[in-house]
Amino acid sequence: MLPVEQLQEIISASNNIVFFGGAGVSTESGIPDFRSVDGLYNQRYKYPPEVMLSYTFYREHTAEFYDFYREKLLCPTAKPNAAHFKLAELEAAGKLKAVITQNIDGLHQMAGSKTVLELHGSVKRNYCQSCQAFYDDAFILQSTGVPTCECGGVIKPDVVLYEEGLSQETMQRSMEFIAKADVLIVGGTSLVVYPAAGMIDYYRGRQLVLINRGATHSDKKAKLLIQESIGEVLGRISLA
């Protein structure tokens, strides 16, 4: 049996699937991966990206932070791919309970997913640091310099920057979904970056599916390992 046929069987038999996704899910929509060889981290800037995406840099060089943020983190033309759409369909069909993602692009919601746990936040949400007023990514994109609120406060993206901790509530909910899942599908991540690597340890089932183009640190734990494009693989799954 082909791996995709095995995956089809696993998905068809379960109504309690959780998906955990990494950068690979977004790169197939044309969004650069921070950590890949071709990704942001190897591009040339005045400062390294991990410095520019730190909380200290945001506080001390806010205008430069936003120049970088607008140019490299906001991808207004990116569209969901076959993986995003299939996950939304699986949720609508009552088979998938949650998408847990390390991505900040909002593409799962754009594809129609409802229960999306964004471990690193989202570029779609930006808040005034003084009055907490909400601003979307379009507002940030059309702003120049330091985007400010009507009240005069500085706006900050709801994105987890370096030096910042992840939301405990999001972490907790994610771990609960993983712990209760019948099937855990991990896609588009090599599981080297925490908390991803640690979070799948909360899974207690025996149907771990790993879909990633390269090897991961958890390959041995997988019941099914598919080293192919996540969009191509999930795109071939049928809900019938």
CA nearest neighbour of 34 among 82, 105, 84: 105
Q: Is 120 a catalytic site residue?
A: yes
Q: How far is the CB of 127 from Zn ion (least distance, A)?
A: 8
Pick between residue 146 and residue 151 the one whose CB is nearest to Zn ion.
151
- Helix/strand/coil percent split, the chain, to 5: 40, 20, 45
CA nearest neighbour of 160 among 217, 117, 220: 117
Determine which one of 61, 84, 108, 120 is catalytic: 120
Pick between residue 120 and residue 156 the one whose CB is nearest to Zn ion.
156
| Contact assessment for residue 30 and residue 76, using Cβ atoms and an 8 Å cutoff | no
Q: How far is the CB of 147 from Zn ion (least distance, A)?
A: 11
Pick between residue 21 and residue 157 the one whose CB is nearest to Zn ion.
157
Residues that bind Zn ion (CB under 5 A): 128, 130-131, 133, 149, 151, 153
Q: How far is the CB of 135 from Zn ion (least distance, A)?
A: 9
E runs forming strands in the chain: 17-21, 96-101, 116-118, 121-128, 134-135, 155-159, 183-187, 207-211, 224-226
Pick between residue 75 and residue 133 the one whose CB is nearest to Zn ion.
133
Q: How far is the CB of 148 from Zn ion (least distance, A)?
A: 8
Phi, then psi, of 134 in degrees rounded to 5: -90, 140
d(CA 110, CA 91): 14
**Residues annotated as catalytic (active site), given as ranges:** 120
